[in-house]
Structure 1
């Protein structure tokens, strides 16, 4: 029986991979699976949900995969060698750098600009990574000795845990597959360690990964977003009345959904508050109500809590927060189902620069990017500057969303969506085709097909 290692460095990937159907499909193929999760101990509910005769769950504490200070500094100076609009935005306006001195940000960008243009530097960085930072780890090596895997599936190429497994697998000649966890990974970061094969979400990412990461395109497989498989599962979508009444809302009123981005856009609560005032004063084209979804990164202390309990507002803080995991959020099956229904039954979706625009397109929901009021630098609103990142330019290129750069533009855009929900329907279809590959409920199956193909090549 072939044995597969699946490396899961964050709880979000439990949803994307384990709950999406990848694990079930592997079991149907008769594969033995060992899942390594970055945590001190496997929670009982996770063990009850996944562990069985074909699946073993292993906790890997963060302390078991240490990284030295020299290695950390090396990564700091080489992680962003793909100098482009995304990295420029990151070093000028992200929460990590926005308050740093302007000269310091300019010097670092100048350094990256010079380094990024040096021929041969990127291959040299990977050579240094492999030769001088081997990350030989007795704990991880012990797992390889004990289980003798036939393949390692890394679910996040940028994660420390995944890189340790990939390096050990390479030393032992074990085939490896890795995924880009998020759709901005390939353009934002230079991968210090690469697998034998890559899985990505769409053809654009495939092209960019081959170009920027200097990786053979014939070993990159496109599968779509496995977490979107939930949106096509039979029995997931409930009737509108049932879902909205369950949230204390009126099925006869139009629904505006606002998805916050938490610590990345700390002031975006102002946008939700403005929408609520329009609803309260009946200043929109139709009687409306608001579903507010805070971000898991600050769900416990977000200013959006002020909207909780107000008339015509449903405050959705149903996140399954778990301090067991590094990202503190483990989206359960019930939470995934609830989120799918909220999107399906929303009449307008408002966010700043979230993946929610892709989620909404899966249900053909009119979507607005509010490019104001989310992040400030020295008192100046720079939210619109964040929209220059490469991966969101792909969204704007499809024309699938309306863009609002002020409160007045947002109100006009909401009214347009309420009065003409079919507007931009063709553009939303284009967004799905370009950025989601296929939303057919079979992305997880395609991941398993890649795994089986690579296993077959080994044989």
Structure 2
């Protein structure tokens, strides 16, 4: 079977190309074309890691005309308003944060908000907007270029690795015209309520029953039969012992002490503006502890955060704080977006060993809680505002819809004030079973188990669904 895999940016590279997913698809006798928007260096990195993946073709450039973009943004805002009402969660609109720099963008988003408000009053209007978007998109000259690729390769199914990318819209539109089956994975555990499912597909592959139910609730036009629960390959790396390094060897590379308890502080991107303040708070409190019992801090920043905002903390507390930067690269001088950056295979090893050899992770609501739960290690979520009178409120973060999945579970420990930092850390380090004792149960709600079978299950479901006439 011929399968075309859409890779519009570096986001899907780690989870689907570096994992066993694509390799096993090829080993099963399927012909795979990677239809991508990656740099040449990213492609070479993929080929070094997975030499069996040989078939690459670049996605043609696509720039939305103003009308198409206005419709897309209008639909996103309309769905956010509807999702806010459906889910009874006012934080949903926090995901509407468009850049309004410049007169054209101000006009664009003024119109999108006005029209989106009107459409949100009736779901049938939103659906009419979806059809209008498809109609206007079909006029793009890019579609004819894409059709040539599809007619030449003749895929049986197209799988999109990033449902939020506008770059993939003309490809899905062209596939529909040519009656080629389409499918998408949902990239992350928090994506569904964000109203950025741009195109409609024949099949949807989701992490869990929780995500399936959410998709059905917020997109009633999608049928139950179109959604398959397959999990996600992104956590399978923790089962790969070939990636493991001995603690002493790994720590020696980066100046850490293999005999000390270790906290991982994982940073978010720049949308979380006070991560450096949190790290400073943690270091200030740890500095008060006797050096004999003071743990060391392993700092892992968000891959797209290339800012210098942590430098003052790293320099001030360099005797016990050590940075192991993610090995993500770009061909551009500056990059603060996952659209222009890609992971190396070495970063898989860095991340796996960071989790394996750290005793606890601290962050502001990061997915890293799940990475640590894989190896049954606790997470502490920061749950206080580090800066007075800030528009950014931590209570908004933990009211986001995806955190409702905790329900009554004690999935993480909570640091509710700066004064609690040391005690909560010491408890987590020395009595880990008491901190977030339900972390494994939460993980099972977020992603289907067994985790090590997620790639295989995804492949099976793709081949099974697409074989139905």
TM-score between both structures, scaled by the size of structure 2: 0.87
The equivalent residue for 1:37 is 36
CA distance in 1, matches of 2:344, 2:245: 17
Whether contact under 8 Å (1:4, 1:152) holds in the other structure is yes
- After TM superposition, give the deviation of residue 129 of structure 1 in Å: 1.9
CA distance in 1, matches of 2:42, 2:366: 30
Give the one of 303, 312, 330 matched to 1:322: 330
Whether contact under 8 Å (1:223, 1:447) holds in the other structure is yes
CA distance in 1, matches of 2:353, 2:42: 27
CA distance in 2, matches of 1:171, 1:111: 28
CA distance in 2, matches of 1:452, 1:310: 52
- After TM superposition, give the deviation of residue 76 of structure 1 in Å: 1.3
Q: How many residues align?
A: 450
Whether contact under 8 Å (1:190, 1:213) holds in the other structure is no
The equivalent residue for 2:247 is 240
Change (3 A) 1:273 1:414: same
CA distance in 2, matches of 1:379, 1:40: 39
- Kindly indicate whether residue 100 of structure 2 is the aligned counterpart of residue 89 of structure 1: no
CA distance in 2, matches of 1:426, 1:110: 46
Map 1:423-434; keep pairs closer than 5 Å. 423-424=434-435, 426-434=437-445
CA distance in 2, matches of 1:92, 1:153: 29
RMSD across aligned C-alpha pairs, in angstroms?
3.1
Whether contact under 8 Å (2:285, 2:421) holds in the other structure is no
The equivalent residue for 2:3 is 4
The equivalent residue for 1:133 is 137
- Kindly indicate whether residue 381 of structure 2 is the aligned counterpart of residue 361 of structure 1: no
- After TM superposition, give the deviation of residue 54 of structure 1 in Å: 6.3
Change (3 A) 1:380 1:293: same
The equivalent residue for 1:202 is 208
Q: Which secondary structure does the structure 1 equivalent of 2:64 belong to?
A: coil
- After TM superposition, give the deviation of residue 224 of structure 1 in Å: 1.6
Deviations 1:131-152 (A, max 9, x none): 2332452221111122111111
Structure 2 segments unaligned to the other structure (5+ residues): 102-106
The equivalent residue for 2:266 is 259
Whether contact under 8 Å (2:45, 2:344) holds in the other structure is no
Q: Which secondary structure does the structure 2 equivalent of 1:457 belong to?
A: coil
Structure 1 segments unaligned to the other structure (5+ residues): none
The equivalent residue for 1:59 is 58
Give the one of 401, 405, 428 matched to 1:394: 405
Change (3 A) 1:400 1:40: closer
- After TM superposition, give the deviation of residue 109 of structure 1 in Å: 7.9
The equivalent residue for 1:153 is 159
- After TM superposition, give the deviation of residue 396 of structure 1 in Å: 5.7
Whether contact under 8 Å (1:34, 1:57) holds in the other structure is yes
The equivalent residue for 1:310 is 318
Change (3 A) 1:94 1:365: farther
Change (3 A) 1:255 1:402: same
Whether contact under 8 Å (1:177, 1:197) holds in the other structure is yes
Whether contact under 8 Å (2:172, 2:182) holds in the other structure is yes
Change (3 A) 1:116 1:304: farther
Map 1:381-420; keep pairs closer than 5 Å. 382-395=393-406, 397-420=408-431
Q: Which secondary structure does the structure 1 equivalent of 2:468 belong to?
A: helix
Give the one of 227, 238, 241 matched to 2:234: 227
CA distance in 1, matches of 2:439, 2:468: 38
- After TM superposition, give the deviation of residue 397 of structure 1 in Å: 4.5
Whether contact under 8 Å (1:202, 1:434) holds in the other structure is yes
Whether contact under 8 Å (1:261, 1:352) holds in the other structure is yes
The equivalent residue for 2:351 is 339
CA distance in 1, matches of 2:262, 2:96: 31
The equivalent residue for 1:16 is 15
Give the one of 78, 81, 104 matched to 2:75: 78
The equivalent residue for 2:302 is 295
CA distance in 2, matches of 1:416, 1:212: 40
- After TM superposition, give the deviation of residue 287 of structure 1 in Å: 2.4
**More deviation in 248-257 or 48-57?**
48-57
Map 1:110-129; keep pairs closer than 5 Å. 115-129=119-133
